Each structure stands twice: as C-alpha cells, then as structure tokens.
Amino acid sequence: MTFLNRLVSYGCTKSEALRRKILTPPFPKIIPVNNLDTLGSEWGQKTYISSPDLNGSSLLSGGVGEDISFDLEFVAKYGATVILVDPVPRASRHFEGVLQSLGTARQKPYSTYGPQQDYDSYDLTKISAAQLKFVPLALFDSEGELEIYPPVNPAHVNYSALDIQDKMSRRRAPLVVKKTTIPKLVTELGITNLRIVKLDIEGSQLETLAQMFIEKLFPQQILVEVDELYFPTWRGRSRAIKCFRLLKRHGYICVSRHQYDFTYVLKSKITGV
C-alpha cells in the first residue's frame, strides 16, 4: 500500500492525505540494533535500548501529561529514578494522584481511548516516592517565562509554546509558565547518572536539544516525539528536518521509529555500527 493510500485508509480525505505526503519530511535512516524494548501504554509507549547500565540510572522525561506509563514501568524495571517535567497543572495533579496510590497493584488495563490513564491502570507495587521527582516547568532553551497555548481538544493536556495544533487557538488565552533547560535541571538536582532523555514537548524539542548540546550534555539515548508532524505545515516540516540533522551532527543515530516517535542513541555507545 502506498503512503498516500495508507493515509486515506486512516480516514484522511484525498486532499488532506496529499497535503500530508507533501509536508512529511524524509525520515532518518533506521540502523538495526539489538535489545530494543518498548514500555508503556498504547498512547504513552516509548522504545529504547535495554542494557545493564540502566539499572539505578536516571531518566529525564519532558512533557508527561496524564500518562506516565512508560516512566513508571522504566522505574520499576531498572530501580531507576525519573524526573518528570511538565508545566501544566493537570499534569501536576496527575502526579500527586500517583503518589497517593503508591504501593497498589494494577487493577485494569491501560486505557486505549486517549492520553489519560487512571491511577489503577498503573502497577505501583515496586515504586517508592524517592524514585519520583516532579518539576512544574517547561523545557526550552533558556530560563524565564513562556506562553504555552492550549490544545484544540480541551480534554487533552498537550499545551504548546509553538501552538502547533492550530493558529486559531491563539484566540484563547495562553498559559504563562516558567521555563528551564535540561542542563540547568541536571545541575540543580545533582543528577550524575542520566542515561535517557525523553521529550514529548509539543514542538519545543529543537530548542531544548540544541541548548543541551551547546552545554555539552549528551545522554546515551534520546527518545523524541516530533509532535508538529501530526499537524503538517511547511514550518513543521522544516523544524523536523533541523531536529533530525541536529541529532545526527552530534553523533546520534536513529534505531527505531513508531509513528512520529524516534529513538536515538549515541553511535559511540553501539558496537559494530
């Protein structure tokens, strides 16, 4: 099935499918590697390379919303610590609910109807409060204040500094939040064993990654969702290409893609590549 026909089969009109085909950039080449693993719900799943040095490591997870299934499964599997970073109040309230539910077993499967999970969908039997840290800030390339715009669907929590979903949402008042950088958080929190950075930050990944690299911080793995590709524009296409090139220029190779989620690893950490 061609890319165009596949989009039509997903429910796009032919004109919308053609527009998406034109505006979708070339994806990075996938380099096959061993030990790929996937954790999390259908909505929150992420793919990474499993290795022994993840035991007791730290994961920095930007843009968590109301589905932290990947993060919690990662913490439980590796005895890890996760720093959850999200400026939206609903994300903070979801985290507080998780804290209150620690020690409880999963009572039902993950929801497949949207990016929100009930607390009893998480297995919290092997996780302690000391392994979880929530930071109510936005990730970007500097400190200060940042305006973020609400999603078109008010049931969702994915606010965007670039308003990637719809320029018309600017008619609604933005949420003014505080922003920070990944290196600043690493320094302030005293993180010494950061192995994975996961970014689902609604289009702000380019600035966030660029600043991280400027400050010479190179985690072994970067799991990045290029969110603007869900809402195709020429600007989004250009920014996606810049993001792919930025990662390649700093020694990262792409080892997995699921929709617009990309898994990158430092080439120097992979033998035989």
Quote the pLDDT of residue 166.
66
Mean pLDDT of the chain: 90
| 23, amino acid identity | L
Rounded-to-integer distance, Cα 232 and Cα 195, Å: 31
Quote the pLDDT of residue 157.
80
Cβ proximity of 150 and 159 under 8 Å = yes
Tokens of 212: 């991280």
Instruction: Check pLDDT > 70 for residue 32.
Output: yes
Least confident of 12-21, 128-137, 195-204: 12-21
Phi, psi of 38 (to 5 degrees): -130, 130
* Axis crossing angle, helix 205-214 with helix 234-249, rounded to the nearest 10: 20
Instruction: Check pLDDT > 80 for residue 149.
Output: yes
Beta strands, E only, the chain: 36-39, 46-49, 58-62, 81-85, 132-135, 138-139, 144-148, 175-180, 194-199, 221-225, 252-258, 261-266
Quote the pLDDT of residue 13.
74
- Strand-pair category, 46-49 with 36-39: antiparallel
Quote the pLDDT of residue 9.
45
Instruction: Check pLDDT > 90 for residue 139.
Output: yes
Write the DSSP string, the chain.
Answer: --HHHHHHHTT--HHHHHHHHHHPPPPPPBPP-S-EEEES-TTT-EEEE--GGGTT-EEEEE--TB--HHHHHHHHHHT-EEEEE---HHHHHHHHHHHHTTTPPP-SPPPSSSSB--GGGS--TT--GGGEEEE--EESSSSEEEEEB--SSTT----BTT--S-GGGGGSPPEEEEEE-HHHHHHHHT---EEEEEE--TT-HHHHHHHHHHTT---SEEEEE-GGGGS--HHHHHHHHHHHHHHHHTTEEEEEEETTEEEEEEGGGSTT-
pLDDT tens, residue by residue, 172-181 = 788 899 999 9
Q: What percent of the chain has pLDDT over 90?
A: 72
Q: How far, rounded to the nearest angstrom, does the alpha carbon of residue 170 sit from its chain's CA centroid?
A: 24
Quote the pLDDT of residue 6.
47
Quote the pLDDT of residue 4.
46
Rounded-to-integer distance, Cα 224 and Cα 243, Å: 10
Q: How confident is the model at residue 8 (pLDDT cuts 50, 70, 90)?
A: very low
Quote the pLDDT of residue 271.
66
Rounded-to-integer distance, Cα 270 and Cα 109, Å: 35
29-269: what fold?
Answer: Rossmann fold (3.40.50)
Q: How confident is the model at residue 167 (pLDDT cuts 50, 70, 90)?
A: low
Strand partners, 202: none
Instruction: Check pLDDT > 50 for residue 76.
Output: yes
